[in-house]
Structure 1
Amino acid sequence: MTELTVSILDSIEDVNPNQWNNLVTQSDLGSLFHRHEWLRLVETALECEPRHVVVEKETNPVAVFPNFYDSIHVPGWHEAARSLPVRELVSVAPGYGGPVIVGDEDACLELAFDALEDLRGIRTLFHRVRTNDLGYVRYGKTFAKNGYRPVGVNCRFRIDLERPWEEIRAGMDADHRRRLRSMRDRDVEYRDEPIDAGSLEETYAAYVNNVERAGGVAFPFAFFAGLADLLADRVKVFTVLVDGREVGRYLYLLDEEQSTLHYYFAAIGDEECFADNPSQLLHAHAIRWGQEQGYRYYDFGGTGADYSDGVFRHKEGYGGEAVPTGQWQKGFSRLGWPAFRAARSLYRKSTY
């Protein structure tokens, strides 16, 4: 019987992309965010430091567990956090991760978790695993056995696109339905933007305005350029025009592995555009497009699991199913992890 071997890669460039993607495609839990191109994008455009665990049988990968070192998330202190001497190991952000296996699950998981132990250290506070498939619940006890604790503070809303459009629209809240009705007599046009440098520059400029208006931190343009370079066939940008004037764009990711259309970036440049209901129009258009293309799910993206939060309530209003974001954490620093947990507990008590 051929022995399995495990290694940790410092770059996704160290593995054959066809072999990697073939494993992702074959696995029930593989997604766009596990693909070689996405991991290369995160590594190069965001300058994240990879630590991908790979289990091989002879020279063929039978399990992968992608990870990156990243700065600790400190709300309101993004730039300051990047300069701290501590970090986290995350699988995967941006996006989602977790182990993807096509071989012997018991053996592959044991090797993968043993390899992760080699990444413990005083600088690395914890390992965080973010997943977007409820199927990862199959590994719940395995995570627990290896010292990981579940985290349940985030979720996503998704719509089953196998339902008829009229049923989906009827399931939206009264405000979203009213806004869609109010646009029936307007001249509404949708445009499918090319995934090239010129169009993405326009999309990016509107996206940055959108993020800054909300008080967030924008991705660098290199990330958008990388999408065009590495994943052009997995990106869709829709623009909506009302009475001949552009009022918004949304960028989507096409997750063929999970048959999911992911709403990913909003690019509504001017606040006055909201009077023409670009959010409702673009979501409705993309939902119907996803149905025509045969996707199973429309994913509104992640949000905090907080019924009083405006983003949560806005996404909930489209009538989608709330899906927990399966996350697990394990402390990797004996000194730093207890201190971090204590500080996080105080923060949650004062802000949640």
Structure 2
Amino acid sequence: MHSDIFSSSSSDNAVEGDLLHGCQDVDLSIMAADPEMWDRFVANAVGGDIVQTAAWARTKEGGGWQCYPVIAWGDGKILGGAQMLVRRLGPFATIAYIARGPLLVDPTSCTLAVQLLDALEHVANLQHVWHLIIQPPEGGDVIAQELKARGYTADAICVAPPATLRVDLTMDLDQILARMSSSRRRNVRQAETRGLNVRFVGHEAIATFHALHKATALRQGFRPVSRSYLKRQWEVLASRGLVFILMAYHKGLPLAAMWLTAFGDTITYRLAGWTGEGSSLQPGVACHWAAIKWGKERGYRWYDLGGIDRDLAALIAAELPLPLASSSSPAGFKLAFGGYPVLLPPAYQIGLRPAGRVMASILRSSCRRHPIVRTIIGSIRGR
């Protein structure tokens, strides 16, 4: 989508009028002044995340999603809001989700939370949405409480990680290394001394990154993100300094790479790619270490390792023993970097129509291989 995702059409005006009716405390509208203004609000809001920006919404357009922003205004300033992404799955079924939202300038405001959720559900009903998923932002306890009061259940497909690990970039490099496991510190030293060349690359390397990413997906048993989605992300975000590719070469050949986003005070590891070769060279570790040093040099506060299982994060936070299998898993790879565990809100879901309630029941049953579930997950994650 272009900048007009936040401007009105004739149908938008009709929706806006409906939203304003009966909402007298704040001015609720599906219009924002402009995308840049909204994105600045997101960057400074408690729990603000790149997935709530207008720029991110544009990356989803090619996958069939349409953005419906609902913005709360007061005294000419944004008080809160969310962008809801809506997609038709077929002739009749329509789904919608909100990742890391709604955002509130005052995250303790129950009144504004209620009004925003009323407005979002109203827009969802106008768009004939069957099934709605909302994953509140970090610090969004008021939102989560209101969702539960409305009958949402906290067992939806997560549209954003429910937990993560973050490396504190305000520490000096020796302190960051000291928090890592002894084996990871050894890996870092190996990566620095074995002839790897780690550097940032541009759009010309997207095809190479995608090939590396597909190799990782094949080994780990997940569906890779599509190359077309990566290209859309790059086209929209790179010029704003919001997306980067780090690639590790050995003797001129690419071995591993990472897809990163930068937003607010955080660098986030999004996707990985590795041929599976040259493991003794530690190309993946080299990429993470390069990202940590780069983020620190540029004044970022956190390096986010991209999400882990919420139960595992809870065990780490409680300093309890971890399952033995975790040490050899992708999560175990991240754990060795010594990041701080962060528990984030789970995703909530509700069926807004009878068929949507059936869909919610399917999702609630954890039938992750069901065609409906696979379609939803793939579409949300850019596959």
Question: 1: distance between equivalents of 2:215 and 2:146?
Answer: 43
Q: Secondary structure at the match of 2:46?
A: coil
Q: Secondary structure at the match of 1:271?
A: coil
Deviates more, 1:25-34 or 1:123-132: 123-132
Compute the TM-score of the two structures, normalised by the length of structure 2.
Answer: 0.72
1:147-191 deviations in whole A, cap 9, x for unaligned?
334459842111111122222222222332332333454223221
Task: Select the residue among 272, 282, 285 that pairs with 1:280.
Answer: 285
Question: 2: distance between equivalents of 1:247 and 1:321?
Answer: 28
Is 1:260 equivalent to 2:271 in the alignment?
no
Deviates more, 1:282-291 or 1:299-308: 299-308
**TM alignment of 1:1-352, pairs within 5 A:** 4-8=26-30, 16-42=34-60, 44-57=61-74, 61-69=78-86, 86=93, 88-92=95-99, 97-102=100-105, 105-118=109-122, 119-120=124-125, 124=129, 126-131=131-136, 133=138, 135-150=139-154, 154-194=162-202, 196=203, 198-232=204-238, 233-255=241-263, 257=264, 259-268=265-274, 270-305=275-310, 306=312, 307=323, 308-309=325-326, 310-332=329-351, 333-334=353-354, 336-337=356-357, 340-341=360-361, 344-345=364-365, 347=367
Question: 2: distance between equivalents of 1:29 and 1:285?
Answer: 26
How far the C-alpha of 1:299 sits from its partner, in A, is 0.6
Residues 108 and 344 of structure 1: is their aligned pair in 2 closer, same or farther, counting only changes over 3 Å?
closer
How far the C-alpha of 1:274 sits from its partner, in A, is 3.0
2:303 counterpart letter in structure 1:
Y
Alignment-derived partner of residue 79 in structure 1: none
How far the C-alpha of 1:235 sits from its partner, in A, is 1.4
> RMSD of the TM alignment (CA)?
3.3
How far the C-alpha of 1:210 sits from its partner, in A, is 2.5
Residues 254 and 330 of structure 1: is their aligned pair in 2 closer, same or farther, counting only changes over 3 Å?
same
1:12-41 deviations in whole A, cap 9, x for unaligned?
xx8622332243244233232222111111
1:4 counterpart letter in structure 2:
V
How far the C-alpha of 1:271 sits from its partner, in A, is 1.7
Question: 2: distance between equivalents of 1:281 and 1:230?
Answer: 27
C-alpha contact (below 8 Å) 2:243/2:259 kept by paired residues: yes
Question: 2: distance between equivalents of 1:215 and 1:146?
Answer: 37
Residues 84 and 183 of structure 1: is their aligned pair in 2 closer, same or farther, counting only changes over 3 Å?
farther
How far the C-alpha of 1:117 sits from its partner, in A, is 3.0
C-alpha contact (below 8 Å) 2:243/2:261 kept by paired residues: yes
Which structure: greater strand fraction?
A: 1
How far the C-alpha of 1:283 sits from its partner, in A, is 0.9
Question: 1: distance between equivalents of 2:142 and 2:235?
Answer: 35
2:336 counterpart letter in structure 1:
G
Residues 26 and 184 of structure 1: is their aligned pair in 2 closer, same or farther, counting only changes over 3 Å?
closer
Question: 1: distance between equivalents of 2:366 and 2:206?
Answer: 41
Compute the TM-score of the two structures, normalised by the length of structure 1.
Answer: 0.78
Deviates more, 1:158-167 or 1:82-91: 82-91
How far the C-alpha of 1:243 sits from its partner, in A, is 4.6
C-alpha contact (below 8 Å) 1:150/1:326 kept by paired residues: no
Q: How many residues align?
A: 322
Q: Secondary structure at the match of 1:176?
A: helix
Question: 2: distance between equivalents of 1:221 and 1:292?
Answer: 30
